[in-house]
Structure 1
Amino acid sequence: MPIPGHGRIWRALPVLCAGLLFLLPGAAPPAAPAHHEAAPSRYEAAPSAPDLAIQFEALLGQHSVLAADLMRSRIRGDDDFVQSANAALGKNTTAMTTLIGQMFGKATADKFSPMWSEHIVELFAYAGALAAHDDDALDDARKELVEYEQELGDFFADASRGRLPRSAARAAVVQHVGHLTEQADAYAAKDYTTADALYRMGYQHTYDLGLTLANALLPAGDATTLKQPLWRLRSQLGKLLAEHAALVEDLTRAAVTRSPDFAASGQMINGNTRDLGAAMDTLFGSSAARQFQALWGDHVEQLVAYATATAGQDQAKQAQAKTGLAGIENRMATFLDGATGKRIGTDKLKAALQEHDLMLLKHADAYAAKDYATAHDVAYDTYQEMFELARTMADAFGATVAARLPKGGAQTGYGGMAVVVEKR
């Protein structure tokens, strides 16, 4: 479908510490969040160690996305977006600290929080140096990042009590920081294709790092549960669906602003769609994968069409996109109902898909209105909700289907879902 001003979207076949805001001109400092506040109700409903491990993966993956967005907005000089991205990172860091306290104890959480916050401060400083073309500041930020990489790696290695080698822990943190700094370098150089490839790599690596760390830090009995088929399916579907939400939001932001990275953002969401299609191929075969990808590609196009119409204040085209989404929700719910052997029900699936789309539309509305605080709040909640959908779908697919996943070590995300389906 042609998108005005952009050409055609490819049809795919697949806390920060409170002190950071003092660095922003005219910014008022936020209240410092309490580190062990009550976790959200969705976490209280599933307190088992394996489910907490999924939350750990989710929060680490979300950190990568939020940190990359913060760095990019700093490079653009978009201070309003920087402040809202900072708030979202603060929320993520507080949630991660609370979760580490639940999983590994308050003493471990108290050590983690300041190191993680300083790590984010230096990423912010690195992006600022890129924006200012200040080589001395860039070198200083690099040196500080190297120091925090070593400290964080040693922290995780020590917490594992010998199950995670210090060299491996340091290497994992170095790779995480490398993805973020290299995507910032490419973004500053306007090499958006490379920047977005690293954006995805950073998310995937950091998400899988959560699994590696959980496997090393949890007691042996809990770690064994992480290898069970249903748990692996919940984890991997959550990874792909949450990435979809984050990338759609990135793409709609580019559509709203008609920014030069729109084409690269389209390629990025296509990569996620291909991976989701590969998952369906692994679980249900190539015919189901092709059907899914056709629907999912339409779904993405309608969301981008809505964002573009919103930017142009074209209410007729907004309504047209909403109508298109409603039809896709019906067809997707019917497809998934069949795939799950009618163990969820079309109505329940349709309601979940409608809620997902409504949140993405609300994000587009808020971003177009430059209400970045609301946009980030909606994006944060949308990301988290995808794990509820993944759990519902995985449980309905059942252990027999889940057992079709490739098997691998925790450090590789259990082999991932790398099967590539044929192009339609």
Structure 2
Amino acid sequence: MRIPGYGRLWRALPLLCAGLLFVAPTAAPAVEPARFQAAPSAADLAIEFEALLGQHSVLAADLMRSRIRGDDDFVQAANAALGKNTTAMTNLVGQLFGKASADQFSPMWSEHIVTLFSYAGALAAQDTAAQADARKELVEYEQELGDFFAAASHGRLSQKAARAAIVEHVGHLTAQADAYAAKDYTGADQMYRMGYQHTYDLGLTLANALLPAADRATLQQPLWRLRSQLGKLLAEHAALVEDLTRAAVTRSPDFAASGQMINGNTRDLAASIDTLFGAAAAKQFQSLWADHVEQLVAYASAEASGDTGGQARAKTEMADVEKRMGAFLSGATGKRISTADLTAALQKHDMMLMKHADAYASKDYVTAHDVAYDTYQQMFELARTMADAFGATVAAKLPHGGAQTGYGGMAAVVEKR
């Protein structure tokens, strides 16, 4: 079976290749969180490296899925977002390891994205020969990228370990695409999350191998670990809410699976609160956070139905949740951040997510991706603010590797759908 639009997508491949392969460290300034503007430390840059790698996984998976669906306009917007991410990563590699390393990294990274695109196209066309060719090329790029990082580590990261890490990253992306093409949305979303988490954590693995000893030690300090882990979970939350609201807007068959995917993120966030503040606080947080997600989905669903009254009700409920969550988090920080300031931060977050839903519903995919990109970055600002307010004593409770999961959330959204 040939997916509608596949021919147009195949003819667009040279444009995609040119857009990605032409990325260079001087192509455009990276869009970075404000904290990185003033003499960022190596530890700051390491967390940004984690963030950009995790974002790459999400954007690449979204690109592959849109290619499988034959959604040409979404493909082009997703490609532009990936190009922006690649430019930011290249600039960061240059800051951390020098221009020569950045010049070497950029084309290799871009080539592996182009091949992932080709692999998704072969899935869409059910062309097993093209799939095999793409897999063969991916193996080559995996080896090159692994060798690049191993060489940059000056012996601290073995070639075998570096190659294995890149192989796992690409394996997650191809596996989620395989499942998505087979309409196994639960399996696809499981791999989607695994891919994000692995690729985000890969940033810390690489930083620990590539940075000087003093900088590596900083990354193990409690506040830095909490900034990293909170950023990971909050940024994933933003990405998964956007995936869920897209499914709600289009009433697509992967809606239930998307709900379960964000349910897992809510469990992980609540588990972190449990570790930091105890079970009672985790239970309260889980309930508030689930309400927060539910109202965002209610807003998107009402928009899909043209129900302006439903959208207004969702906004009203959302405002109430923002105030209650602001009060909860303010209490958790010992009032080091006011309820008003935290409520305002949550309002900004929700407004960006609603703006994304509005743009996606109107098929303005460029704006939707721009908003999603900025929302993802904003989560790291919030994570740093919260971690610093919680303080080093609380942060020290977080075990290495993050908290264990164990709480539920947002089940009502799927049940009510």
Which range, TM-score by smaller chain?
over 0.9
**1:24, CA displacement in angstroms?**
5.0
How many angstroms does 1:420 deviate by? 2.4
Partner of 1:416: 402
Paired AA for residue 335 in structure 1: F
Partner in structure 2 of residue 158 of structure 1: 151
1:306 corresponds in structure 2 to 299
Q: How many residues align?
A: 398
How far apart in 1 are the matches of 2:164 and 2:17?
37
Which residue number in structure 2 is paired with residue 115 of structure 1? 108
Do the aligned partners of 1:21 and 1:27 also contact (CA within 8 Å) in 2?
Answer: no
Partner of 1:89: 82
For residue 23 of structure 1, report the CA deviation from its aligned partner.
Answer: 2.4
Which residue identity is paired with 1:51? D
Is 2:93 the counterpart of 1:138? no
TM-score normalised by structure 1 residue count: 0.91
Query: Secondary structure of 1:361's partner?
Result: helix
Greater Cα offset, 28-37 or 99-108: 28-37
Q: What is the alpha-carbon distance in structure 2 between the residues aligned to residue 22 and residue 174 of structure 1?
A: 29
CA contact (8 A) 1:281 1:419 kept: no
Q: CA 1:310 to 1:217, structure 2 compared with 1: closer, same or farther past 3 Å?
A: same
Structure 1: tracts of 5 or more residues without a match? 1-19, 408-414
Higher relative contact order (CA 8 A, sep 6+): 1
Displacement, 1:421? 4.6
Tell me if structure 2 keeps the 8 A contact 1:281–1:421.
no
Aligned equivalents of 2:16 and 2:92: distance in 1?
29
- Note closer, same or farther for the CA distance 1:46–1:302 as it changes in structure 2 (3 Å cut): farther
Residues 139 and 419 of structure 1, relative CA distance in 2, 3 Å threshold: closer
Residues 33, 381 of structure 2: 8 Å contact kept: no
> Displacement of 1:38 after TM fit?
3.6
2:12 to 23, 35, 39: 23
1:250 aligns with 2:236: no
RMSD of Structure 2 on Structure 1 (CA): 1.9
Q: Deviations over 1:186-214 (max 9, x none)?
A: 00000000000000000000000000001
Q: Per the alignment, in what secondary structure is the counterpart of residue 157 of structure 1?
A: helix
Tell me whether 1:380 sits opposite 2:370 in the alignment: no
Distance in structure 2 (CA, Å) of the matches to 1:234 and 1:126: 35
1:284 lines up with 2:270 in the alignment: no
Q: 2:140 matched to 1:147?
A: yes
- Report SS of the residue matched to 1:201: helix
Instruction: Give % identity.
Output: 76
Q: Which residue matches 2:42?
A: 49
Selected match of 1:367 from 330, 355, 360: 360
Moved over 2 A (4+): 20-34, 36-41, 419-424
Check conservation: 2:29, 2:88, Cα contact below 8 A. Answer: no
Equivalence for 2:415: none
Distance 1:56 1:140 in 2: 30
Partner of 1:6: none
Q: CA deviation at 1:416?
A: 1.9
Q: Aligned partners of 1:417, 1:45: CA distance in 2, in Å? A: 31
- Residue in 2 aligned with 1:181? 174
Q: Is the 8 A contact 1:359 1:382 kept in 2?
A: yes
Distance 1:172 1:123, change over 3 A: same
The match for 2:324 is: 331
Q: Are the structure 2 counterparts of residues 117 and 29 from structure 1 closer, same or farther at C-alpha, using a change threshold of 3 Å?
A: closer
Q: Deviations over 1:167-188 (max 9, x none)?
A: 0000000000000000000000
